[in-house]
Structure 1
Amino acid sequence: MTDSVVLKGMTWSDPRGYDPVVAAASAFAETHPGVSIEWDKRSLQGFETTPVDELAARYDLMVIDHPHVGSVADRGCLLPFEEFASEDALAELANHSIGRSFQSYFLNGHQWALPIDAATQVQAHRADLSPRVQNWSDVIRKAEDGHVIWPLRSPHVLMNLYTLAANVGHPCATSYGDLIDPETGRQVLEQLRAVAKHMDDAFYEMDPIAVLDELSSSDRYHLSPLVYLYKGYANDGYRKHRIHFTDMPVLGRNGPLGSALGGTGIAISSKTAHPQLCTEFALWVASAECQRGLYVKANGQPGNALAWSDPAVNAETLDAYFNTRLTHETAWLRPRHDGYMQFQEEGSEIVADALRGKLEPDQAVTRLNERFRASFNRESH
């Protein structure tokens, strides 16, 4: 290649989001003389809320959150992977997916991103202070003792509702209609309130990173019952104390299933001048070769199942991948329709008000269902 090519990428600012793609870009440049990828980063809150079409206007490559897919699928701002990736390559990544991670970026007949990071709500605890809990009743008792810390900032407060509803066997809707049936909504909100009434108001401003920072730095808290996996906190030397990640505590009788899926995927702007090159990079970053090697060595949390099954990868994280595998494989895929992202904000406020006692559970369920239905009728701007 005679002319130099500079691709621009946008990811999120946590070491888990930034370090591995920068390392991958450096390795890719070594095998592709004249090609460089420059990565910018945004905060976790920005990652969860910034419209993808805004990013696609400025970047070739983007690390995105799957609930955004519905708002961009029909706008032509992302490049469908099947245009430049082979069917076999995509099938291989689909087969290597953790749970529904690959599926989460497939909508309206197109693959809009490739999973490079898998996460869902799991249990985080300080094994040096107390053992993990099994059931939601144990979480309530821990909260009564003042040992529970919990990320209740939007959208995580809403994710708790999603997770417990699916765990009792009545998952929230992903298509037009009521989000949740009244009986399930009341049951789940009452269970969430039983824990939340012992929570500090500051938790409503905390995301998983803030919670895990606190859990790993002091001995006041022993447990975060539902928090997205951040494998870095299990690594030796990352913080003062190492955190153990294990399957979620259960409310229902079906085991640790139904957790609200998270994770990230790599997407390509339809405006890029180098679609083939971007596709080649994305396929490689998502591959088992990269994910179980360079990616995890550079602080990455892989999305590839072969990396999750690797004993060497697990050894660095107190077996975080082995110990949360069932929760990840049975995670619930939240709505992705155009209009969902605004509902996610509104729904988070409603659930937060219910947990704080500003709304009764029945009132909250009514409002959630009203706003969810309305989210299908909004015109996007």
Structure 2
Amino acid sequence: MTGIRLRGMTWDHPRGYDPLVACSALYRDRHGVEITWEKRSLQDFESFPVEELARRYDLIVIDHPHAGQVAREGCLHPLDQPDFSAERRAMLASSVGLSYRSYVFDGRLWALPLDAATQVQAWRPDFLGSPAETWAEVIALARAGKVVLPLRAPHSLMCVMTLAANLGWQPGGNGEDFIPHAVGEAAVEQLAELSGHLDERCFSLDPIAALDLMADSDELACCPLVYGYVSYAHAGFRPHRLAFADIPCLGSSGPLGSVLGGTGLAVSARSEQHEEAVKFAYWVTSGDVQRGPYTAAGGQPGHGAAWLDAAVDQAANGFYSQTRATLEGAMLRPRHDGYMAFQDGAARLIAEGLLAKTPARRIVEEVNHLAHAASARQGR
């Protein structure tokens, strides 16, 4: 053993924790570096300040919208060192959609794509003959009481963004408005129509809770917009195996515009062992490890070599091949400093508006007002 010990922080789900523990054990056996992992809730993962985590951990699994904030704070060690240029070129060439690019901000690379995901569709093949292809089909299933949808912050906003983008919207294309009124209203109206047929507890569900509920249900057959979790596609993970598919379309351009998710592996700028942490980060995100021990331990890879591996796809019941088009057409969220606070506030406005049956126009106006206020505070 080298005596080198690293501490890592990930998120609390087998997909986020188990593969890192398994790969760290393999890395210890090969390189003598001991890595211990702790985990935090999905809600903390989506909102907890990275700067605070960087004080205590060497390796941190992050969400890419934090990029602007971490760039300003300088709490992460940039990962674009010349020593790993060949590895970066290979990652970029094999990036699944915008997964690699999502961690590049202000010309620096702040994390490596560890796990690739976007909003896709989950469905029960024992209840349905095929997944929904259109939003109208989703509404019909909801009227029959067969739909669940996670609407806890930030996912109410993610749903509005995906629906709007599927209609052709792109963030930042309308001056200071976060979202143009016409397309924003259309998206909110569609989400409002759907939510009117859903159990109100959907407003307290995150993706993990929604998928757990669906996998244990005798009625729920479709979750139309949910961040893909390959764990539920594996036999035996939950009482009922879920299948995954491209998002059902509201627009006419296919499964485009889903809001990109996934995770990146970052290194703390405060780590006394940052060189060793960087080496591990590049190793665990490499193609061979991602399609080998990482996926074997239940991971959802961020490297395209694993997404295109037939054996990996077969073990996951077609999860990768059936959602790849949606991931390749996924949209990158804003990542500027201050976006995370806006994301949380806007999601809460949307959820509260849907529950109160507030007109779509007013909800969109409130979201845009919040965006203007956030922009003013940041001096943009």
State TM-score, norm by structure 1: 0.97
- The 5-angstrom pairing of residues 86-235 of structure 1 reads 86-130=84-128, 131-173=130-172, 177-235=176-234
Q: CA offsets, 1:159-203, max 9 Å, x none?
A: 001101110111232896111111111111111111010111111
Shift of 1:217: 0.9
Unaligned 5+ segments in structure 1 are: none
Is contact 1:84–1:276 with CA below 8 Å preserved after alignment? no
Shift of 1:276: 1.8
Is contact 1:343–1:371 with CA below 8 Å preserved after alignment? yes
Match of 1:63 in 2: 61
Shift of 1:356: 1.9
Match of 1:18 in 2: 17
When the two chains are superposed, the root-mean-square deviation of aligned CA atoms in Å is 1.4
Match of 2:299 in 1: 300
Letter in 2 for 1:330: G
SS in structure 2 of the partner of residue 128 of structure 1: coil
SS in structure 1 of the partner of residue 7 of structure 2: strand
Measure the CA separation in 1 of the matches of 2:295 and 2:338: 35
Label 1:338 to 1:322 Cα distance change in 2 as closer, same or farther (>3 A): same
Percent of matched pairs sharing the same residue: 46
Q: CA offsets, 1:39-81, max 9 Å, x none?
A: 1110111111110000001110000000111111121110000
Letter in 2 for 1:139: V
SS in structure 2 of the partner of residue 41 of structure 1: strand
SS in structure 2 of the partner of residue 333 of structure 1: coil
Q: CA offsets, 1:7-39, max 9 Å, x none?
A: 110001100000011111111111112x20111
Is contact 2:192–2:357 with CA below 8 Å preserved after alignment? no
Shift of 1:376: 2.5
Measure the CA separation in 1 of the matches of 2:324 and 2:367: 31
Is contact 2:55–2:268 with CA below 8 Å preserved after alignment? yes
Letter in 2 for 1:125: W
Letter in 2 for 1:361: A
Is contact 1:174–1:335 with CA below 8 Å preserved after alignment? no
SS in structure 1 of the partner of residue 238 of structure 2: coil
Shift of 1:85: 4.3
Aligned length: 378
Match of 2:289 in 1: 290
Unaligned 5+ segments in structure 2 are: none
Is contact 2:179–2:364 with CA below 8 Å preserved after alignment? yes
Measure the CA separation in 2 of the matches of 1:98 and 1:148: 28
Q: Do residues 330 (structure 1) and 315 (structure 2) align?
A: no
SS in structure 1 of the partner of residue 376 of structure 2: coil
Q: Do residues 361 (structure 1) and 366 (structure 2) align?
A: no
Match of 2:76 in 1: 78
State TM-score, norm by structure 2: 0.97
Is contact 1:12–1:44 with CA below 8 Å preserved after alignment? yes
Is contact 1:10–1:39 with CA below 8 Å preserved after alignment? yes
Measure the CA separation in 2 of the matches of 1:127 and 1:19: 27
Measure the CA separation in 2 of the matches of 1:360 and 1:285: 48
Measure the CA separation in 1 of the matches of 2:109 and 2:175: 23
Measure the CA separation in 2 of the matches of 1:316 and 1:374: 48
Is contact 2:142–2:197 with CA below 8 Å preserved after alignment? yes
Letter in 2 for 1:95: A
Is contact 1:116–1:304 with CA below 8 Å preserved after alignment? yes
Match of 1:344 in 2: 343
Letter in 2 for 1:115: P
